[in-house]
Amino acid sequence: MARLVHDTDHILDTAARLLRDTGPAGVTVSAVVRAAGVSSGSVYHRFPDRAALLGALWTRTLARYHTAAYPLFDGDPVEAATALAEYTVRWCADNPLDAHVLLTGAARFGADAWPEAVRAEREAENERWNAAIRDLVRRLCDRTGRSRTAVLLAAVDLPTAAVRRYLVSGTPIPDDLPAVTAQTVRGALN
């Protein structure tokens, strides 16, 4: 019988499905092996332990979300915040498993136990993202005259809150939610 070759994305996608279905505690190497239909060696070859698996799932997901988001920070700050809000909700609708990973949060993935290289990658990406957010918030405060708290609520917290109820309940995000969220953010910042 020919040996099947399984790619890393298949293993991480399986881990994401387990997360959605069973929560963080249910994402174990043995559960991933069973659910993915792969050998334990196939998983351990890529991820020496659960911490490495969870770290890889987190960093892959964060990269997927951030890659298309970074260009949206440029230009007029209200337009940037509006575009980011719409992008965030649309991305979550198009990528519900990945969105669930981000909603769960790195802390619930045992981030302190991740391999040093994965922790360093996470810290570098967090700093890059947080710097972009800080700059956008500063520009929004300057442009709108609103407080930092009001700007963070509108530009950062509102898009996350918009998708949370759907991700937690496992129901599809409504088709109009990206546009509604963008309109709400724009209205709060104008």
For residue 2, pLDDT over 80 is answered with: no
- How much of the chain exceeds pLDDT 90, in percent? 97
Q: What is the mean pLDDT of the chain?
A: 95
For residue 185, pLDDT over 80 is answered with: yes
Is residue 29 a contact partner of residue 93, using CB atoms and an 8 Å limit?
A: no
Mean pLDDT of 137-154: 98
For residue 3, pLDDT over 50 is answered with: no
- Tokens 């409504």 sit on residue: 174
Question: Over the stretch 17-39, which tens digit does the pLDDT of each residue have?
Answer: 999 999 999 999 999 999 999 99
Is residue 65 a contact partner of residue 98, using CB atoms and an 8 Å limit?
A: yes
Question: Over the stretch 82-131, which tens digit does the pLDDT of each residue have?
Answer: 999 999 999 999 999 999 999 999 999 999 999 999 999 999 999 999 99
For residue 1, pLDDT over 50 is answered with: no
Q: What is the pLDDT of residue 130?
A: 98
Pick the CATH number of 50-189 from 1.20.120, 1.10.357, 3.40.50, 1.10.287: 1.10.357
Mean pLDDT of 12-16: 98
Q: What is the pLDDT of residue 6?
A: 62
